[in-house]
Structure 1
Amino acid sequence: MGKFLKRLLLKEDPNVYQVKDAHLSQVLTVKDFLALGVGTIVSTSIFTLPGVVAATHAGPAVVISFLLAAVVAGLVAFAYAEMSSVMPFAGSAYSWINVIFGEFFAWIAGWALLAEYFIAVAFVASGISANFRGLVEPLGVNFPKQLANAFGTEGGVIDLVAMIVVLLVAILLSRGISGVARVENLLVVLKVLAIILFVIVGMTALHKANYFPFIPKYHQNADGSAFGGWQGIYAGISAIFLSYIGFDSIAANSAEAKDPQKTMPRGILGSLLIAVVLFVVVSLVIVGMFKYTNYANNAEPIGWALRQSGHPIVATVVQTIAVVGMFTALIGMMLAGSRLLYSFGRDGMLPKWLGKLNKDKLPNNATLTLSTIGIVIGALFPFAFLAQLISAGTLIAFMFVSIGIYALRSREGKDLPKPGFKMPFYPVLPALAFLGAFVVFWGLGNDAKMYAILWFFIGLIIYFAYGIKHSYLGKKNKEN
Structure 2
Amino acid sequence: MHKIWKRFTLKEDPSVYQDKDSHLMQVLTVKDFLALGVGTIVSTSIFTLPGVVAARYAGPAVAISEILAAVVAGFVALAYAEMASAMPFAGSAYSWISVIFGEGFGWIAGWSLLAEYFIAVAFVASGLSANFRGLIQPLFSLPPQLSNAFGVKGGMFDLVAALVIFMIAYLLSRGVSEAARIQNILVVLKVIAIFIFILVGITALHPENYLPFIPAAKANPDGTVFGGWRGIYAGVSSIFLSYIGFDSIAANSAEAKDPAKTMPRGIIGSLIIAVALFVSVSLVLVGMFKYTNYANNAEPVGWALRTAGHPIVATVVQTIAIVGMFTALIGMMMAGSRLLYSFGRDGMLPQWLGKLSKNKQPLNALTVLTIIGVVLGAVSPFEFLSQLVSAGTLVAFMFVSIGIYALRPREGKDIPEPGFKVPFYPVLPFVGFLGALIVFLGLDIDAKIYIGVWFIIGLVMYFTYGAKHSALNDRK
Question: Partners in 2 of 1:380 and 1:47 — Cα distance?
Answer: 21
Q: Which moved more, 1:364-373 or 1:101-110?
A: 364-373
Q: Report the equivalent of 2:211.
A: 212
- Deviation of the 1:222 alpha carbon: 2.2
Q: Report the equivalent of 1:125.
A: 125
Q: Report the equivalent of 2:339.
A: 340
Alignment of 1:107-126 (within 5 A): 107-126=107-126
Question: Partners in 1 of 2:331 and 2:399 — Cα distance?
Answer: 22
What secondary structure sits across from 2:50 in the alignment? Answer: helix
Question: Partners in 1 of 2:291 and 2:387 — Cα distance?
Answer: 24
Q: Retained in 2: the 8 A contact 1:7–1:474?
A: no
What secondary structure sits across from 2:410 in the alignment? Answer: coil
Q: Report the equivalent of 2:434.
A: 435
Q: Which moved more, 1:127-136 or 1:354-363?
A: 127-136
Q: Report the equivalent of 1:161.
A: 160
2:294 is aligned with 1:278: no
2:332 is aligned with 1:305: no
2:21 is aligned with 1:34: no
Q: Report the equivalent of 1:80.
A: 80
Question: Partners in 2 of 1:88 and 1:409 — Cα distance?
Answer: 16
Q: Report the equivalent of 1:9.
A: 9
What secondary structure sits across from 2:70 in the alignment? Answer: helix
- Deviation of the 1:153 alpha carbon: 4.4
**Cα separation, partners in 2 of 1:84 and 1:374, compared to 1, 3 Å:** same
Q: Structure 1, residues 175-196: CA drift from partner, whole Å, max 9, x if none?
A: 1111000110111111100000
Question: Partners in 2 of 1:309 and 1:152 — Cα distance?
Answer: 32
Question: Partners in 1 of 2:131 and 2:309 — Cα distance?
Answer: 21
**Cα separation, partners in 2 of 1:54 and 1:247, compared to 1, 3 Å:** same
Q: What amino acid is aligned across from residue 37 of structure 1 in structure 2?
A: G
Q: Report the equivalent of 2:247.
A: 248
Question: Partners in 1 of 2:332 and 2:344 — Cα distance?
Answer: 18
What secondary structure sits across from 2:257 in the alignment? Answer: coil
Q: Report the equivalent of 2:373.
A: 374
Q: Retained in 2: the 8 A contact 1:64–1:233?
A: yes
Alignment of 1:335-414 (within 5 A): 335-414=334-413
Question: Partners in 2 of 1:24 and 1:205 — Cα distance?
Answer: 50
Question: Partners in 2 of 1:158 and 1:60 — Cα distance?
Answer: 34
Q: Which moved more, 1:247-256 or 1:151-160?
A: 151-160
TM-score by length of structure 1 reads: 0.96
Q: Which moved more, 1:454-463 or 1:94-103?
A: 454-463
- Deviation of the 1:126 alpha carbon: 2.1
**Cα separation, partners in 2 of 1:375 and 1:294, compared to 1, 3 Å:** closer
Q: Report the equivalent of 1:449.
A: 448
Q: Report the equivalent of 2:138.
A: 138
Question: Partners in 2 of 1:327 and 1:67 — Cα distance?
Answer: 25
TM-score by length of structure 2 reads: 0.97
Structure 2 unmatched runs, 5+: none
Question: Partners in 2 of 1:215 and 1:388 — Cα distance?
Answer: 22
**Cα separation, partners in 2 of 1:248 and 1:217, compared to 1, 3 Å:** same
Q: Report the equivalent of 1:197.
A: 196
Question: Partners in 1 of 2:121 and 2:317 — Cα distance?
Answer: 23
- Deviation of the 1:384 alpha carbon: 4.3
Q: Retained in 2: the 8 A contact 1:41–1:246?
A: yes
2:18 is aligned with 1:18: yes
Q: Report the equivalent of 1:70.
A: 70
- Deviation of the 1:205 alpha carbon: 1.5
Question: Partners in 2 of 1:418 and 1:457 — Cα distance?
Answer: 36
Question: Partners in 1 of 2:244 and 2:290 — Cα distance?
Answer: 29
Alignment of 1:82-101 (within 5 A): 82-101=82-101
**Cα separation, partners in 2 of 1:5 and 1:328, compared to 1, 3 Å:** same
Q: Which moved more, 1:4-13 or 1:283-292?
A: 283-292
What secondary structure sits across from 2:244 in the alignment? Answer: helix
**Cα separation, partners in 2 of 1:243 and 1:86, compared to 1, 3 Å:** same
Q: What amino acid is aligned across from residue 357 of structure 1 in structure 2?
A: L
Q: Retained in 1: the 8 A contact 2:120–2:385?
A: no
Q: Which moved more, 1:17-26 or 1:303-312?
A: 303-312
**Cα separation, partners in 2 of 1:387 and 1:240, compared to 1, 3 Å:** closer
2:314 is aligned with 1:315: yes
Q: What amino acid is aligned across from residue 18 of structure 1 in structure 2?
A: Q
Question: Partners in 2 of 1:136 and 1:214 — Cα distance?
Answer: 34
Q: Structure 1, residues 26-84: CA drift from partner, whole Å, max 9, x if none?
A: 00000000010011101111112222222222222111111110000000000000000
Q: Report the equivalent of 1:458.
A: 457
Q: Which moved more, 1:157-166 or 1:338-347?
A: 157-166
Question: Partners in 2 of 1:278 and 1:66 — Cα distance?
Answer: 11
Q: Which moved more, 1:308-317 or 1:439-448?
A: 308-317
2:44 is aligned with 1:44: yes
Q: Report the equivalent of 1:170.
A: 169
Q: Retained in 1: the 8 A contact 2:260–2:419?
A: yes
Question: Partners in 2 of 1:381 and 1:336 — Cα distance?
Answer: 21
Residue-pair matches, total? 476
Question: Partners in 2 of 1:309 and 1:170 — Cα distance?
Answer: 37
Q: Retained in 1: the 8 A contact 2:134–2:299?
A: no
Q: Which moved more, 1:54-63 or 1:112-121?
A: 54-63
- Deviation of the 1:416 alpha carbon: 0.5
Question: Partners in 2 of 1:276 and 1:158 — Cα distance?
Answer: 33
Q: Structure 1, residues 153-193: CA drift from partner, whole Å, max 9, x if none?
A: 44444322222211111111011111000110111111100
What secondary structure sits across from 1:209 in the alignment? Answer: helix
Q: Retained in 2: the 8 A contact 1:40–1:246?
A: yes
Q: Which moved more, 1:329-338 or 1:43-52?
A: 43-52
Q: Retained in 1: the 8 A contact 2:116–2:393?
A: yes
